[in-house]
Amino acid sequence: MSGWAYLEDFLGYLKVERQMSPHTLRNYRLDLAQFLEFLAATPEAPELEEVTYRQVRAFLAHSLKGRGKTTVARKLSALRTFFKYLQRQGVLTQNPAKLAPSPKVGKSLPHFLTVDEAFHLLGQAKGDEFAPRRDRAILEVFYAGGLRLAELAGLNLGDLDRKEGVVRVWGKGAKERLAFLGDAALSALAAYLPFREGLLAHHGRQGEKALFLNVRGGRLSARSVARVVEKWARLSGLSQALTPHGLRHSFATHLLEGQADLRAVQELLGHASISSTQRYLHLNLDYLMEEYDKAHPRSK
């Protein structure tokens, strides 16, 4: 069985058993295909069953040329997962990527908004046409629910419960959770939905399930959703570096600054591990120092 056939089996396993998103599957396919192509181009051109740590190390060294350490770390993670799968299938006796050291990646703080900046951004997106009504609803739902980009782009109308003020979200690994919306997000959705229905009637697509639509009445893609955020960040005079993930970071940071419990924030973000949520504790050192000074008996 060829390495390419093993790759297709592995991707099928990730899709069906691990319920990974199309975006993650594309990254796995890209990284592992590059490794197989690298193997084929080497003088010995070993079969996948013959791969050793030496070939893995050579591939990673090759990958570092012109690429950031984060990208190389992702490729190493893909190889480790792939080889672990092949071990379970009895193809390999050991994981040749297990001993490879991960490149040290500096932790960069993501861009996020202050509360005033968030209110300023949300106040800019207004208008009495389909696009601004939709865009305002997108921004409000991002900030109210702390959704990931793929989660918001994948929302269907049936996921929305306006009476309860929640939306059902399918997160990583197809894990379901409820995101709370709040009055501002619900108001923005109420203003958008009649325009959504009018657009679908115009295009004869009343059966469309997607919550957020493009001007042709189809589902708004994740890339187009990101452009909506970038557009209004630019028009509002805020940093053009703001992304949907920046709004998610803003959501988490503002909850923690409001003294929300870390475990509760973990649930709201849909994090499997509390360590993922703890990153947000490092975002506002001034706030943490102020809280320390107020609370610690020996801080004075």
Does the annotation count 148 as an active-site position? yes
Which two tokens mark 40?
Answer: 């084929």
Give 236: exposed, middle or buried? Use CB within 10 Å, 0-12, 13-18, 19+.
Answer: middle
Q: Where are the alpha helices (DSSP H) in the chain?
A: 3-16, 22-41, 53-63, 69-88, 115-124, 130-145, 149-153, 182-203, 222-235, 244-257, 262-269, 274-278, 285-295
Does the annotation count 271 as an active-site position? yes
Q: Which of 172, 177, 203, 219 is catalytic?
A: 172
Q: Which of 74, 133, 134, 271 is catalytic?
A: 271
**Tokens 């193809």 label which residue?**
91
Q: Which of 74, 248, 249, 254 is catalytic?
A: 248
Per the CB < 8 A criterion, the answer to whether 244 and 146 are in contact is no
**Which residues does residue 170 pair with via DSSP β-bridges, in sequence order?**
176
Does the annotation count 280 as an active-site position? yes
180 SS3 class: strand
Which two tokens mark 13?
Answer: 């396993």
CA distance 142 to 176: 17
Does the annotation count 248 as an active-site position? yes
Q: Which of 74, 133, 136, 148 is catalytic?
A: 148
Give the catalytic positions in this structure: 148, 172, 245, 248, 271, 280
